[in-house]
């Protein structure tokens, strides 16, 4: 029987183990774009195809949208990090809902226990 007003929270080490399995994490998106090069007689640029490049778009701490060039070899790892970051955002959303549900369940149990004592 608990007498505190705070609900029992789940062991955070379980979440930490999951976070470690989903590391690295990133928030943003990767886009493939086609850009012209600097060569004067480039056939790809002259035909309009241009050259593929990858950009990582993200929001900086001041809330401004930024982009960074991503080397082709890094694209798969960055896409996985973004997927891992989305997983973490979902866990945080679920954690907020779970915290409210645990609080309500604890409050109901406490009220029933106190009703039983007063009868």
Beta strands across the sheet bearing 65-70: 29-35, 51-59, 65-70
pLDDT 10s digits, 21-32 = 889 999 999 999
Which pLDDT value is given to residue 26?
93
* CA-wise closest residue to 5 among 103, 97, 98: 103
User: Each residue of 45-102: pLDDT tens digit?
Assistant: 888 888 889 999 999 999 999 999 999 999 999 999 999 999 999 888 888 888 888 8
């Amino acid at each position: 029987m608990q007498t505190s007003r705070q609900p029992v929270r789940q062991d955070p080490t379980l979440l930490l183990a999951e976070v470690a399995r989903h590391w690295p994490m990133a928030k943003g998106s990767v886009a493939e774009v086609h850009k012209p090069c600097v060569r004067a007689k480039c056939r790809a640029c002259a035909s309009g195809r241009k050259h593929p490049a990858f950009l990582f778009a993200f929001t900086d701490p001041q809330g401004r949208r930024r982009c960074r060039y991503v080397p082709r070899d890094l694209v798969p790892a960055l896409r996985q990090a973004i997927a891992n970051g989305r997983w973490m955002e979902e866990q945080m959303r679920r954690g907020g809902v779970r915290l409210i549900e645990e609080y309500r369940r604890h409050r109901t149990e406490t009220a029933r226990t106190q009703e039983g004592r007063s009868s």
